[in-house]
Structure formats: structure tokens, C-alpha cells
């Protein structure tokens, strides 16, 4: 599973630590998420997507599915 967290974070110009505080996890978790080393729980995926104002499927993408339009 891939995700667009790094890209969306850069767009909003917020640090990993700020995003971690917003969604209530450790900075390390955001680092691992961005590297694709950890798949989040549904709750965390929802919180991250909610923060960026996007549906989950536009933030977290499965390898075998094309990227959603309007992302």
C-alpha cells in the first residue's frame, strides 16, 4: 500500500511532528507511514485523510489500483 502523506504534508507545509500531534501518534509512526513500512489502522487512516480534507482512498492507495482522479 502506498500513500500520499509526504506530498500532502508538503503542500500544507506542516512537519511530521505537527501531523503526528494532530492525529495523536508519535512522529516515528508518521515516518514509518511515509516510508510505507507500516499500514495504519482504519482509525488512523481516517484521521489522516480527514485532516487533509480528502477521502481515505485518495490518501492511501493500493499497489494494484490506479490513483484516484481529482486527488
CB of 28 to another protein, least distance (A): 7
Q: What is the total count of residues that contact another protein (CB under 8 A)?
A: 20
Positive/negative CA dihedral, 18, 32, 24, 71: positive
The alpha carbon of 3 is separated from its chain's Cα centroid by a whole number of angstroms, namely 6
Residue 39 binds another protein, judged by CB under 8 A: yes
Are 61 and 71 spatial neighbours (Cβ–Cβ below 8 Å)? no
Residue 1 binds another protein, judged by CB under 8 A: yes
Please give the residue ranges that form the binding site for another protein (CB under 8 A). 1, 17, 20-21, 24-29, 32, 35-41, 43-44
Amino acid at each position: 500500500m502506498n500513500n500520499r502523506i509526504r506530498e500532502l504534508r508538503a503542500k500544507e507545509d506542516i512537519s511530521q511532528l505537527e501531523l503526528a500531534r494532530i492525529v495523536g501518534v508519535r512522529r516515528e509512526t508518521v515516518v514509518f507511514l511515509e516510508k510505507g513500512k507500516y499500514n495504519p489502522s482504519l482509525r488512523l487512516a481516517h484521521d489522516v485523510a480527514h485532516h487533509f480534507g480528502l477521502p481515505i482512498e485518495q490518501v492511501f492507495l493500493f499497489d494494484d489500483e490506479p490513483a484516484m482522479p481529482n486527488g
